[in-house]
């Protein structure tokens, strides 16, 4: 059977992002039979219906095609003002428009990292609500909240906290059977 293709999406555009670093750590933790590439969303313009109507910009077309082609999405995002980040919401808004709504029946796993102690729960619950109403299949558990992220990575973005590494390993390991279950639940 072909490997399951995962698209990683970070909700932070920051070069030194802890979320992007954690996503890259997941590349090392994927179980056999899964591969992952990481999307870029920093070149997607702000959503504007007039621009959409005139023709989707290339970065939007690329992102939508990547989401559509993926067997599953792994989204890592910080919390901004108790909710999801603007770049991530913008990318989701672009990708959610007709003709093909690319989150439909898509298996999705999410986690978050923040420098605050809680690790971004309000962001995760808002993200879950947004994706669920788009008929995405968001994996219920395990929930992974990386609080105090600034103490868990070294200056090169290497995850040094073994407990967090184990949580991420459990998340990506559990994602594989979730994708397989959702495929059975929603045959093509
Ligand atoms: C606009 C803005 C709002 C933020 N709001 C929150 C928040 O509500 N909760 C929280 O835990 N951290 C908040 N933070 C701090 C982030 O957790 C911190 O900047 C984190 O490092 C961002 O993730 P990144 O390292 O992946 O870029 C906020 C940061 C910014 C820039």
Residue 44 burial (C-beta neighbours within 10 Å; 0-12, 13-18, 19+): buried
Q: Give backbone dihedrals phi and psi of 64, rounded to 5 degrees, phi first.
A: -60, -40
Q: Evaluate: CB of 124 within 6 angstroms of ligand 1.
A: no
**Ligand 1 centre from 120 Cα, in Å?**
8
Question: Among 18, 38, 80, 148, which residue has the most ligand 1 atoms within 8 Å of its CB, making it the best to mutate?
Answer: 80
Predicted pLDDT at 115: 98
Residue 134 burial (C-beta neighbours within 10 Å; 0-12, 13-18, 19+): middle
- pLDDT, tens digit, for every residue of 98-128? 999 999 999 999 999 999 999 999 999 999 9
The neighbouring-strand residues paired with 36 are 6
Going by CA atoms, what residue is nearest to atom 9 of ligand 1? 79
Average pLDDT over residues 72-98: 98
Which H or E run contains 57? none
- pLDDT, tens digit, for every residue of 130-156? 999 999 999 999 999 999 999 999 999
The answer to whether 4 touches 35, Cβ cutoff 8 Å, is yes
> What would the two tokens of residue 185 be?
């639940």
Q: Is the dihedral of CA 27, 179, 79, 89 positive or negative?
A: positive
């Amino acid at each position: 059977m072909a490997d399951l293709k995962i698209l990683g999406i970070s909700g932070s555009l920051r070069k030194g992002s802890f979320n992007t670093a954690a996503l890259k750590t997941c590349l090392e933790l994927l179980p056999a039979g899964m591969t992952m590439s990481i999307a870029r969303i920093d070149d997607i313009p702000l959503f504007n219906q007039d621009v959409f109507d005139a023709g989707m910009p290339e970065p939007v077309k690329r992102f939508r095609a990547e989401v559509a082609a993926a067997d599953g999405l792994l989204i890592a995002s910080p919390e901004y003002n108790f909710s999801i980040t603007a770049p991530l919401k913008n990318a989701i808004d672009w990708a959610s428009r007709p003709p093909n709504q690319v989150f439909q029946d898509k298996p999705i796993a999410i986690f978050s990292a923040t420098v605050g102690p809680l690790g971004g729960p309000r962001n995760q619950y808002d993200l879950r609500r947004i994706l669920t109403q788009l008929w995405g299949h968001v994996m219920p558990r395990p929930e992974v909240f990386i609080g105090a992220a600034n103490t868990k990575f070294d200056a090169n973005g290497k995850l040094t906290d073994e407990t967090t590494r184990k949580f991420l390993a459990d998340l990506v390991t559990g994602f594989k059977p979730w994708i397989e279950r959702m495929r059975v639940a929603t045959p093509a």
